[in-house]
Structure 1
């Protein structure tokens, strides 16, 4: 199995969340639009990314469209995101999306075998196609004809586009999280994260 280079990963944050005392009025307005955790906290991903306010301002609507207003069913979306987190070693992405996946109907049994990939026993045919799509996009930056055609039996053109964009979005987010060392907040344990596994496992 080809292992991700863990030595290249920061063992502490390279960029810290912007402290609240440094929130200028524009920063405060931008962060007010971010999803808040129960209790009112703002996730570290947003308070770190807002160090580039222009980019943050344009990132949030696109990410929000995919996460909250997309055409894919929630369980489909979250399965793709969790497999992408697995493929990229993005612990933060996994930890934050685990409760969303469960809320969307992804079962604990499915979560437990995400790290085993699309050939693991127990997947439904559509789930296998979805995991293969995430793996092929991660590895090859495209999808095989077989995977595309398998998905096209279940989804229309808009949903197929969204699958590709969703995986690409969360791959990009994983790059940001991993490179900057964003820390997962307390209360979001990384339960079941498939350490050292991924599409090439």
Structure 2
């Protein structure tokens, strides 16, 4: 992969970029490449962070299901960066190594429970057709309330958009995540 937009070096950028990057460090003092790359456009980063933080930290989806959504979206989008980031987060959310491996295979893998299989099919429908069939809608809205179905839909859309940007900008996987992909 060719880096098209390099990460903003530490201490560089305008005041808004530096302020936005404060508090985004992980594992001590390193700010992930996704943030330092997006910081090259501080106004965009600020707005992107708002929705991203809702979907990651305030979502009404159960954390395990949220991570299935994000990882499947990353797999469908071919986003190695998003996959590597969310393998780590998915583990913390309760996904097993076996489940993480099966996410890339999708709903046809025989190891999935019915609820997970339905979720994976719905992700595939949204990602591929930008809409849900009536069967998928009914299944999800029977299982979840309106807020959860909305958070599900927005999570697929947000992470599809983010994966597209990561792939296009050539954002390199952070060194501490190289083994997670």
Alpha-carbon distance in 2 for matches of 1:46, 1:161: 25
The farther-off stretch of 163-172 and 16-25 is 16-25
- 1:181 Cα offset (Å): 0.4
Work out whether 1:69 is the aligned partner of 2:51.
no
Unaligned runs of 5+ in 1: 1-10, 194-201
**CA contact under 8 A between 1:91 and 1:190: conserved in structure 2?**
no
Work out whether 1:135 is the aligned partner of 2:124.
yes
Q: Report the RMSD for the aligned CA atoms in angstroms.
A: 1.2
Alpha-carbon distance in 2 for matches of 1:190, 1:14: 23
Partner residue of 1:118 out of 94, 102, 107: 107
Misfit runs of 4+, over 4 Å: none
1:89-110 Cα offsets, whole Å, 9 max, x none, are 0000000000110110111111
- How many residues in Structure 1 have an aligned counterpart in Structure 2? 181
State the partner residue of 1:17. Answer: 7
State the partner residue of 1:28. Answer: 18
Unaligned runs of 5+ in 2: none
TM-score by length of 1: 0.86
TM-score by length of 2: 0.95
Alpha-carbon distance in 1 for matches of 2:149, 2:156: 11
Superposition pairs of residues 1-201 of structure 1, within 5 angstroms: 11-34=1-24, 36-189=25-178, 191=180
For 1:189, what is the secondary structure of its paired residue?
helix
The farther-off stretch of 20-29 and 169-178 is 20-29
Alpha-carbon distance in 2 for matches of 1:23, 1:116: 41
Alpha-carbon distance in 2 for matches of 1:135, 1:113: 14
State the partner residue of 1:197. Answer: none
Alpha-carbon distance in 2 for matches of 1:26, 1:64: 18
Alpha-carbon distance in 1 for matches of 2:88, 2:123: 20
Q: Which has more helix, going by share of residues?
A: 2
